[in-house]
Chains A and B, each alone.
Chain A
Amino acid sequence: QDITLRASHQFPGGKGDPRDEMVQMIARDVEAANVGLKIQVFPGSSLFKANEQWGAVTKGQLDITSFPLDYASGRVPQFSVTLMPGLVRNFDRADRLNDSPFMQDIKAIIEKNGALVIADAWLSGAFASKKGCITGPDSIKGQVTRAAGPAFEQMLAAAGASIASMPSSEIYSGMQTGVLDATNTSSESFVSYRLFEQVKCLTAPGENAIWFMYEPVLMSKQSFDRLNPAQQKALLDAGKKAQAWFATEVRKGDQKLIDTYKKAGVEVVEMSAADYDAWLKVAQESSYKNFADKVKGGDELIKKALSVQ
């Protein structure tokens, strides 16, 4: 008897979005392995909404999903650390983080909740503003900013920015009408929402990026345990391959971001090591502190992440 698994994510399907492609790749490879296993992909929130996927996958109502783990931080507070300012810094370090004790802790928590990681993925993000270049913390003071992620909202507020919440689809019109001065979101969204028509300066990820988000491919443990060893192996192998592919693809995405913005006449800068350190200091007093105070083992998680070389 063949088994069909259901995979869900929130990204546009079949449009070359690397996060969709990653899941599609796993589906193709698993089917090609000929182990009586098939994966049906439901892209673009067509089965579950982004925020509902964690509940569904841990309860066995959904088999596979790819989504920002931070979305589940209301239920598993430790997950906030996967969208915490400054913890990753750049892609090379993200690779080293994946196998560090820090991520082992996170994965143990994921497993305890009924899911397991079949592919790691880190996404980079950028800043942009209509007023000037966002570099150090001082540069964002007084700007109405939309931030991607609560830990960022805390840090930016501590740096003196005025936070406005809105869905990412409203960023463009927010900037256009002047509700928003600056925004911080993933490199992917910066390109797809055509924000280069609105902003004056882009702070590209580069070597000292403070925004990284963990967006793994997860599988329900209940569903995984139902599979036979050959099927399990096929899935894990496909996951490893997709992970490696994504890690190279996501870097190309950042280059595309820089090219697109330069071509549109937007000034493109990067944060310096000094800027990065200054942000880290603001984060220590805001988001890190808050996380350490409110989350059991939070302090230790941050220390473990920062100690990775």
Chain B
Amino acid sequence: MVSLFLRTVDLLSKVAALIAGLLLIAAMLVICEMIFLRYVFRAPTIWQTDFVVFSATAAMFLGAPYVLKTRGHVGVDVIEIALPRRPRRVLGIVGALLGLTFTVLMAYASAIFFHEAYVNEWRTSTVAAITLWIPLLPLPVSFALLSLQYVAELVRRVCGTDEAEGHA
């Protein structure tokens, strides 16, 4: 049961990261298209800037759970390293609980913001006037996934499975 949860969370983070990667590629291609249209044809570009900004931003949020899973978010681990095994584990659990607190609070805050944009049909104040809830959707999704990933990490730390796996 526990391992099914862990595997599901990991899978979700990976799927989000895959989408993030594709969004980054899309942003890169659209930048090139935009430059090409303007430089070669002197043609106006309307929706491109919004698309590029929002897909790259979405990629950064959607990639965050995967980066947490692979321990890519930098931390100050001097104290952690200096401690003996048991207190180090306790400190790690405290850190993960604090991290979880942040991601849960932000999941709540982004859900409020997303909901407001959705019901009020907010748009961007640009020519393209993109429906705002679409680029905002990655926020609640990302923080919810981050929270799940943190719960998974806590499970691993409490059960001590993270040491067996090693720090990826």
Binding site for B on A (CB under 8 A): 51, 70-75, 77, 80, 142, 144, 150, 153-154, 157, 161-165, 294
Contacts and interface: CB of A to CB of B under 8 A. Distances in A.
Q: Give the one of B120, B125, B126, B127 with max A CB within 10 A.
A: B125
A144 B38 contact: yes
A72 to B, nearest CB: 7
Contacts of B28: none
Given A144-B42, A157-B44, A165-B45, 17 more contacts: A73-B125, A74-B123, A74-B124, A74-B126, A74-B129, A74-B132, A75-B122, A77-B123, A150-B126, A153-B46, A157-B46, A162-B42, A162-B45, A163-B44, A163-B46, A165-B49, A294-B129
A163 B42 contact: no
11 contacts: A72-B125, A74-B125, A75-B123, A80-B125, A142-B42, A144-B38, A154-B127, A157-B44, A161-B44, A162-B45, A165-B126
Contacts of A73: 125
A150 B124 CA distance: 10
Contacts of A162: 38, 42-45
A75 B44 contact: no
Q: Name the 4 nearest CB pairs between A and B, nearest first.
A: A74-B125, A150-B127, A157-B44, A165-B49
Contacts of A142: 42
B38 A164 contact: yes
Contacts of B46: 153, 157, 163
A165 B47 CA distance: 10
Contacts of A154: 127
Interface of B: 38, 42-46, 49, 120, 122-127, 129, 132
A25 to B, nearest CB: 28
A70 B127 CA distance: 12
A70 B44 contact: no
A71 B129 CA distance: 12
A142 B40 CA distance: 12
A71 B126 CA distance: 9
A74 B42 CA distance: 28
B129 to A, nearest CB: 7
Contact of B125 (A70, A144, A161, A164): A70
A213 to B, nearest CB: 13
Contacts of B43: 162
Contacts of A161: 44
A75 B127 CA distance: 14
A142 B43 CA distance: 8
Contacts of A163: 44-46, 127
A71 B42 CA distance: 27
B44 A74 contact: no
Q: Give the one of A70, A75, A77, A142 with max B CB within 10 A.
A: A75
Nearest to B42: A162
Q: Give the one of A51, A72, A80, A165 with max B CB within 10 A.
A: A165
A74 B135 CA distance: 13
Nearest to B116: A55
Contacts of B38: 144, 162, 164
B117 to A, nearest CB: 8
B106 to A, nearest CB: 16
Contacts of A164: 38, 45
A164 B124 CA distance: 17
A101 B45 CA distance: 36
A153 B127 contact: yes
A162 B37 CA distance: 9
Contacts of A165: 45, 49, 126
A288 B72 CA distance: 50
A150 B125 contact: yes
Contacts of B126: 74, 150, 165
B110 to A, nearest CB: 14
A153 B43 CA distance: 13
B151 to A, nearest CB: 31
